Chain A
Amino acid sequence: MGGYIEDPKPKRPPRRTASGDGGDPCDLSLELDLVGLQPDVSSGLTSGAILRVVLVSLHGIDSVVCQTPAGYTVGALAAFRGLAQLINCLKKGVEYEAAVALASKTRCNVEVYRVSP
């Protein structure tokens, strides 16, 4: 499975402080593949597309998903260091976006970064 490092990255705001270097703990940025990919949605995305990062709370379960501007869920953010912190920050009202680096019906690789406040 190639393409992790060679694909061009979409334009996005400059990165703020990376997680864990003593700055604001909500200044998170990460790059990863989505879990629980929705292939029909993912296959319609192109590199550079911007997704919303949304906290979904259902029956006491918090999960973080990436959604298209039209509200379709592409997949979930999970299995990385910083997930618990990301959930806490979203609960505090911090907003993030995910820029699509690579998308197909089998993969969606995104770069997540803080946008506000």
Chain B
Amino acid sequence: VIIAGGSYLESCKYPRWERLFGSGIRASLALQRLSPSSSLLTYAPALYRADVEATLKSAGLDVQATESPNSCAFRWLHPFELLSWPKKDRLPPLIADAEAVLRFGMMEGSAVVSAKRAVYDPQNEGDGFFANGSEASELVMILSESELLRQPGTVIDHAMKREAMVSQAVDNLIFQYRGRFEFFAVLLKDKVGGVNVYIGDEPKPVPTYAAESFFKIGAGDVFAAAFAHAWMERGLDIFAAADHAARSLAWFVEGARLPLPREVDLPIRACLPPPERVRIVGAHNLEMGQLIVRTEDLLVEHSIGVVFDLIDRVSDQADTSLPTLILLREDSNIAEIQESAVSSLAAQRTVVYSPGTTIKLTPRYFPSARITDDYASALFHLLREPLP
């Protein structure tokens, strides 16, 4: 496989993370064991080009890094909130000519693909696969909903429900692309590890697999790499390849582990579909208010109903049996922890987000809850309950 993708500095405040990855490096390292003859085409600034090359070469992988003038860095506050990203540039394209190509969108330029089979994860590119002259006999596009809505020809009608808008955008993409390939499919990702496969108009969900924690940064890169390996190199059909990628994703998010292991070592415990409604109980202050708003936005994107309660003001009518997420503060006191524990006694299951030193106090009040100091993991556990 030729992998064409970026090499970027990445940093995140919560959890703390400062690495040199980007989709290209991450996908390459993900496939280090499974596809050791794969090679990376990337742009890299002089400032850290030697580090890009040293990283790939130390893994025994081939890399062709084209020098770019500017350093490219992505900064997250937490994995659901990107604070800053590099400016887009128009450097001469990279040429990816091979039987099988995994192409990621890049900030500095793009990769022109000539392949029998290609997988395209456009990321921030909104021009579509063909705009730069790329061609392939068979293509699978892997996108998030927001990336899908940036694709050419997509009509954004804010009066429409998001679900309908996404469905229309998928139809549009399939209409534009299907006639130009012997095979074309779309893999549409959500933000907490869920994926739907579209060959025609109807989505077919890919199982989500259980993980103890959810490290979201780069999870999409690993999913794409695993899918590309399974579909293009192993020749699995699209559903089997997507299932392999979903299991690989579950393996990666538990500790940001790279490279990916052999098939037999991947997780096999699937999750139930997300609940239709959840309850969130949070403290009453500004910091928590912002987190609740972000959480609500994310859940609404997933068409999940949300019921809110404040820790100290639980409504008499509250449906306390719903799967419940407790949002504690870094400095939550014992009374607050006790009140939130009492308010969730009737819940089918409880997930507690307990940051900072609060986490040391939390377990005694929530003996059967899942407790984490990582926000992304808390959401993942709320939405992805493992099958018994």
Contact = CB atoms under 8 A, between A and B. Distances in A.
B359 interface: yes
B259 interface: yes
By secondary structure, the A interface counts as loop
Given A1-B256, A2-B374, A104-B255, A82 B51 contact: yes
B233 to A, nearest CB: 20
Given A62-B54, A62-B57, A106-B212, A2 B377 contact: yes
A63 B57 CA distance: 8
A83 interface: yes
Interface in B193-226: 212-215
B258 A5 contact: no
Contact of A2 (B18, B213, B253): B213
Interface stretch (A10-18, A29-37, A44-52, A92-100): A29-37
Contact of A61 (B14, B21, B57): B57
A5 B51 contact: no
B16 A76 contact: no
Contacts of B355: 2
Contacts of A32: 18-19
B15 A3 contact: yes
A6 B29 contact: no
B156 interface: no
A36 B61 CA distance: 14
Could you say which interface size class chain B belongs to? 35 or more
B51 A6 contact: no
A2 B373 contact: yes
A107 B255 contact: yes
Given A1-B214, A1-B377, A6-B359, A80 B53 contact: no
Contacts of B18: 32, 80
Contacts of B19: 32, 79-80
B296 interface: no
Contact of B54 (A3, A6, A84, A106): A84
A47 to B, nearest CB: 15
Contacts of B373: 2-3, 6
Contacts of A63: 58-59
A4 B16 contact: yes
A84 B52 CA distance: 8
Contacts of B53: 84
A5 B25 contact: no
Q: Which of A2, A35, A63, A84 has the most CB of B within 10 A?
A: A2
A35 B29 contact: yes
Contacts of B51: 80-84
B239 interface: no
Interface of A: 1-6, 32-33, 35-37, 61-64, 76, 78-85, 87, 104, 106-107
A-B pairs, 4 with minimum CB distance: A106-B255, A2-B373, A84-B50, A2-B374
15 contacts: A1-B253, A2-B15, A4-B14, A4-B17, A5-B14, A32-B19, A62-B58, A76-B58, A76-B59, A78-B58, A79-B20, A81-B9, A81-B20, A83-B55, A87-B58
Given A36-B259, A79-B20, A107-B255, 9 more contacts: A1-B254, A3-B373, A37-B255, A61-B58, A79-B21, A79-B29, A80-B51, A81-B20, A81-B51
Interface of B: 9, 14-21, 25-26, 29, 32, 48, 50-51, 53-55, 57-60, 212-215, 253-259, 355-357, 359, 372-374, 376-377
